[in-house]
Amino acid sequence: MFRKVWLFIKLTRPFFLLGGVLAYGLGLIIAAWQGTVIDASRALLGQWLVTSIQLMAQYLNEYTDFEVDRLAGQHRTRFTGGSGVLPSGALPRDVAHTAAIACAISGLAAGIVATLQIPAIGLIGLISLLGSWFYSAPPLALMGSGFGELTTSIIVALLVPLTGYVLQTGRLAPIVFLVCLPLVSIHLAMILTFEFPDRIVDAQMDKKTLTVRFGLKRMAQLHTVLIVGSFGLIALLPASPATRFIWLAIPLAVWQISSVIQNSRRARGNWERLSFGAIALFALMSGLSLIGFVAT
């Protein structure tokens, strides 16, 4: 029993849940910075909604991507190619499907409760739930359509912070969009990095991600444009506390761009290190944005 619990934890990949917590916290901090007294019960309700949807997406991706993950084999890294639990046969594949449905029900319940308190959250929650479900699931299967990357980035880097903000304030505000737009760009660059090690297997399985459609070198170029564009947006958009410390992320951004370009020219790149660098860059920029509001 202990081994099965441990395998389910590995399937869950709790490390990735930290990104949802950080993005959600950014929305709360923006609301608090504007003078809103944070309602703890609503804060927990929103985190319940966010985490339920995130877990649903992760379990469903493990279930629907079973064959791709099985073929990935040696190409898998600690951050890409799934958890590896299902292809190994350690747990039945249906476990992930059942867990995804349970989390979808949990997310629906949280969304209904939240909507009864703040009606505006209903639309945000519904878009997040449907977008996350159909990222992996047919008939849309956005992850192989060329639209899944942007959909995921909008949900994680914009709608999650917006959930935290709207649940506390009951309204939309331009500042949330101004703060989150550069983060959407950075998150999209991170998603592209995740696709690089899986591109060969994805092509074999006719999973038409952006990297499969346009090739590694072009996506490495797009990766550069997205990161440079993110800092360009920060420079052009009206100043906010989020930009106070964001420039501290420039050295990591430069390293990430340089490393991706170099590895895109090799037969076999060090994608594990670069995947971690992509995660670190998104986490650092989100964290620095949050700290900027706290320190103001």
Give one DSSP letter per residue of the chain, joined into a string. Answer: -HHHHHHHHHHH-GGGHHHHHHHHHHHHHHHHHTTPPP-HHHHHHHHHHHHHHHHHHHHHHHHHTHHHHHHHGGG--SSSS--STTTTTSS-HHHHHHHHHHHHHHHHHHHHHHHHH-TTHHHHHHHHHHHHHHHHSTTT-GGGTT-HHHHHHHIIIIIHHHHHHHHHHSS--HHHHHHHHHHHHHHHHHHHHHHGGGHHHHHHTT---HHHHH-HHHHHHHHHHHHHHHHHHHHHSPP-GGGSSGGGGHHHHHHHHHHHHHHHTSSS--HHHHHHHHHHHHHHHHHHHHHHHHT-
CATH 1.20.120.140 assigned to domain 2-294? The reply is: no
Amino acid at 53: I
> What is the phi/psi pair of residue 239, to 5°?
-65, 145
Residue 85, pLDDT above cutoff 70? yes
Residue 267, pLDDT above cutoff 70? no
Per-residue model confidence (pLDDT) at position 220: 95
Q: What is the pLDDT of residues 88-118, one digit of tens each?
A: 899 999 999 999 999 999 999 999 999 999 9
Taking a C-beta distance cutoff of 8 angstroms, is the pair 217, 153 a contact? Answer: no
Per-residue model confidence (pLDDT) at position 122: 96
Q: How far apart are alpha carbons 19 and 160 in whole angstroms?
A: 10
Q: How far apart are alpha carbons 165 and 120 in whole angstroms?
A: 11
Per-residue model confidence (pLDDT) at position 181: 96
Q: How far apart are alpha carbons 202 and 239 in whole angstroms?
A: 41
Taking a C-beta distance cutoff of 8 angstroms, is the pair 120, 172 a contact? Answer: yes
Per-residue model confidence (pLDDT) at position 268: 74
What is this structure's pTM?
0.94
Q: Taken in order 109, 112, 115, 121, is the CA torsion positive or negative? A: positive
Per-residue model confidence (pLDDT) at position 198: 85
Closest CA to 176 of 281, 24, 280, 47: 24
Angle between helices 160-169 and 17-33 (to 10 degrees): 40
Give Cβ neighbours of residue 156 (< 8 Å, ≥ 6 apart).
19, 20, 23, 187
Q: How far apart are alpha carbons 160 and 180 in whole angstroms?
A: 10
Q: How far apart are alpha carbons 66 and 80 in whole angstroms?
A: 13
Q: What is the pLDDT of residues 230-243, one digit of tens each?
A: 999 999 888 889 99
Q: How far apart are alpha carbons 27 and 33 in whole angstroms?
A: 10
Residue 72, pLDDT above cutoff 90? no
Q: How far apart are alpha carbons 296 and 196 in whole angstroms?
A: 39
Work out the number of other CB atoms within 10 angstroms of the CB of residue 104: 20
